[in-house]
Structure 1
Amino acid sequence: MNLAWKEIKKNKARFLILGSIVFLVSLLTFIISGLANGLSQDNAALIKDLPNGQFYMNEDSDQTYNLSRIDASTEDEVLKKHHDAVAFSIQMGFLNDQDNKQRSVAFVTSTNSKLFTNVKRGEVVLDNSMKDKGIKVGDTLTNNQYRGQLIVIGFVDQKKFSHAPVAYINTDDYKEIYRVKEMQVVFVPGDDSPQKIAGLQSFSNKDFLNTIPSFNAEQMSLNMIIWFLVIISGLLFAIFFYMMNVQKIGLYGILKAIGIKTSKLFKMMWTQMVFITVIALVLSIAFSQVFNVIAPKGMPFSLTFETTVILSIVFLIIGFIGATLSGIQIKKVEPLQAIQQGEV
């Protein structure tokens, strides 16, 4: 520990450069992770807020929820067997506000269930983001495919689907707008093992999210960037300590000659790595939280405590691996040969 601290004080510029790079890479990683989580919520909060269970769609739907049609008899059979099950439908559309301006929404309707908001005919409950567009309780909204008017009776927090605010409407109103008779999906909460239901295909929560257009591609792209940044940070540690070790071959030879064990030299290097990484991570976490506060209101950003902890642990592990790989040459150093090369 004493050796590690002395070297850091002696070579402040080198370690400051490495710490700055790790800080910038980790900060970028935290910000992109926050954006990935935020976009995930903005894309599918309606589904992600549901408890674990099984989603059932028609086998002929090609794993596409808006092409699925659940036969009424099959729906009744499942709902009678599972009292907490719910049948629901989702379809993208629009509402005209009182100024006759179109507002994109995701229409959602369901059978009676505490998992979804149920409304009477002619009523609508909207996501809170619609308040920012000037819509308030008591407003009457219209749709070109609907004969009557929909009265706004309330708002709900963080209910988005496919980056559109959710609009809960009555089942009869939904059927009139889209000229359909069947529901699209049946959800059975708490059912970890899928059941065989004739004509239906089961999906877990994660699998159903992947049936949402753009969700899988969007998350995969962002997660790939995150892991590339993590790998880059590991390479930076390996390269930095490798160059440091090459320059200190003579010093290591002298230290070995006076009886210092290789394990102690490794501990010195690991201590330096942990010191740099922890400081860089603390600063990057602090800056990412500041970014969360100053980010534009419309930007979907959500950096959770769990994600922060996981990424921090990953950075420490990657740093440890990178530093250890670069230190393999320390083990190979022969004291006499290293001393003859000259101390740097």
Structure 2
Amino acid sequence: MNIAWKEMKKNKAKFTILGSIIFLVSFLTFIISGLSNGLSQDNAALIKDLPDGQFYMNADANETYNLSRIDVDAQTDILNKQKDAMAFSIQMGFVNDTEEKQHSVAFVTSTDSKLFESVGKGEVILDRSMEDDGIKVGDILTNNQFNGEFKVTGFVDQQKYSHAPVAFINMEDYKEIYRTHEMQLIFIPGTEKVQDVAGLQSFSNKEFLNTIPSYNAEQMSLNMIVWFLVVISGMLFAIFFYMMNVQKIGLYGILKALGVKTSRLFGMMWYQMIVITVIALVLSVALSQGFATIAPEGMPFSLTLGTTIQLSIIFLIIGFIGATLSGLQIKKVEPLQAIQQGEV
């Protein structure tokens, strides 16, 4: 490894350029991943925060929860058999504050459950982001489709749906607004085995998230960019070390003639790859975590420690693969032929 380190000090410019590129690519990857996670929470925190379980909607709804209607008798039967189950509905709407200013919300109502907020008639519990709009506990809100008024009784953290703050309301108030007596969905938490229910289609948490059009399209696009950047980093390693190896054919021939094993030559290359990648990752992780503190207010950005570690490991693996593929030519180096070519 001493030879590898001396080579890095001798060719500082080359290795600094590679490290800078890896730093920029990894930093951009962390930023986009943070935006992806942030948008995911902003789009579907209401669903993502639920425990693992099974969602059920009408089989004729074509996997569109807005079109789903759960038969009242079927709902009653399931809730009686599954004590932790709940029926709930989500509908996009709006509320007017005391100044008649409209605020978009996602109205949510459910049967009695510890998973969602319990709300009395004429009351509403809002996502805390509504406080930024000047709404306070005790304020009176109205809705054009509702004859009564909503009194704000509290706020909850990180309850968003389709990028709108959630508004938990009583089921009777919900039925009056949307002129319906049927719920859209049933959720059974902690079910290990999917239960077949006549006329209903079941979804896991992940499958249900993918039925939300905006969520699926948004996450697919951002994740594609993240993986594209990861692949680019692997290609950069492969190209860089390939060019370096071509220049060092003569040196490898001399080292092999002196009895240095091919595995040791690979080890030198891997050592250089690890040093460059680790330094680049440390800088990019530090800056990306710092970005979370200076990100503009309202920007959905969430880069968790788990995601950071996962991406860092992926970068190391990709770098290892790229460097190894570029070094396959080392195995083919014949000492005498390489020495005759001359050391560059």
Secondary structure in 2 aligned to 1:235?
helix
Residue 139 of structure 2: aligned partner: 139
Secondary structure in 1 aligned to 2:22?
helix
Residue 161 of structure 2: aligned partner: 161
Equivalent-residue separation in structure 2 for 1:338 and 1:272 (angstroms): 23
Secondary structure in 1 aligned to 2:213?
coil
Deviation track 1:110-143 (CA, whole Å, cap 9, x = no partner) reads 0000000011100000000000000000000000
Could you list the structure 1 runs, at least 4 aligned residues long, displaced by more than 6 angstroms after superposition: none
TM-score by length of 1: 0.99
Q: Following TM superposition, by how much is the alpha carbon of 1:192 offset from its aligned partner in structure 2, in angstroms? A: 2.5
Q: Gaps spanning 5+ residues in structure 2: where? A: none
Secondary structure in 1 aligned to 2:143?
coil
Deviation track 1:13-44 (CA, whole Å, cap 9, x = no partner) reads 00000000000000000000000000000000
Equivalent-residue separation in structure 2 for 1:303 and 1:88 (angstroms): 30
Equivalent-residue separation in structure 2 for 1:192 and 1:34 (angstroms): 31
Residue 289 of structure 2: aligned partner: 289
Residue 177 of structure 1: aligned partner: 177
Residue 334 of structure 2: aligned partner: 334
Is contact 1:273-1:319 (8 Å) kept?
A: yes
Equivalent-residue separation in structure 1 for 2:318 and 2:198 (angstroms): 48
Equivalent-residue separation in structure 2 for 1:46 and 1:66 (angstroms): 16
Is contact 1:52-1:192 (8 Å) kept?
A: no
Secondary structure in 2 aligned to 1:152?
strand
AA in 1 matched with 2:161? F
AA in 2 matched with 1:221? S
AA in 2 matched with 1:42? D
Deviation track 1:52-110 (CA, whole Å, cap 9, x = no partner) reads 00000011111111111001110010000010100000000000011101100000000
Residue 8 of structure 1: aligned partner: 8
Equivalent-residue separation in structure 2 for 1:45 and 1:2 (angstroms): 51
Residue 201 of structure 2: aligned partner: 201
Residue 240 of structure 1: aligned partner: 240
Q: Gaps spanning 5+ residues in structure 1: where? A: none
Secondary structure in 1 aligned to 2:112?
coil
TM-score by length of 2: 0.99
Matches within 5 A, 1:234-273: 234-273=234-273
Equivalent-residue separation in structure 2 for 1:12 and 1:311 (angstroms): 27
CA RMSD of aligned residues (A): 0.6
Tell me how many residue pairs correspond in the alignment: 344
Equivalent-residue separation in structure 2 for 1:99 and 1:246 (angstroms): 73
Secondary structure in 2 aligned to 1:145?
coil
Residue 52 of structure 1: aligned partner: 52
Equivalent-residue separation in structure 2 for 1:17 and 1:245 (angstroms): 17
Q: Following TM superposition, by how much is the alpha carbon of 1:258 offset from its aligned partner in structure 2, in angstroms? A: 1.1
Equivalent-residue separation in structure 2 for 1:280 and 1:89 (angstroms): 47
Secondary structure in 2 aligned to 1:38?
helix
Equivalent-residue separation in structure 1 for 2:166 and 2:186 (angstroms): 18
Residue 317 of structure 2: aligned partner: 317
Secondary structure in 2 aligned to 1:214?
helix
Equivalent-residue separation in structure 2 for 1:225 and 1:213 (angstroms): 19
Residue 97 of structure 2: aligned partner: 97
Equivalent-residue separation in structure 2 for 1:335 and 1:198 (angstroms): 74
Q: Following TM superposition, by how much is the alpha carbon of 1:336 offset from its aligned partner in structure 2, in angstroms? A: 1.0
AA in 1 matched with 2:225? I
Q: Following TM superposition, by how much is the alpha carbon of 1:259 offset from its aligned partner in structure 2, in angstroms? A: 1.2
Residue 213 of structure 1: aligned partner: 213
Q: Following TM superposition, by how much is the alpha carbon of 1:213 offset from its aligned partner in structure 2, in angstroms? A: 2.2
Equivalent-residue separation in structure 2 for 1:133 and 1:302 (angstroms): 22
Is contact 1:42-1:160 (8 Å) kept?
A: yes
Deviation track 1:160-211 (CA, whole Å, cap 9, x = no partner) reads 0000000000000000001111000000000132111111110000011111
Is contact 1:94-1:104 (8 Å) kept?
A: yes
Equivalent-residue separation in structure 2 for 1:31 and 1:55 (angstroms): 32
Equivalent-residue separation in structure 2 for 1:29 and 1:118 (angstroms): 40
Q: Following TM superposition, by how much is the alpha carbon of 1:297 offset from its aligned partner in structure 2, in angstroms? A: 1.6
AA in 2 matched with 1:214? S
Is contact 1:122-1:150 (8 Å) kept?
A: yes
AA in 2 matched with 1:109? T
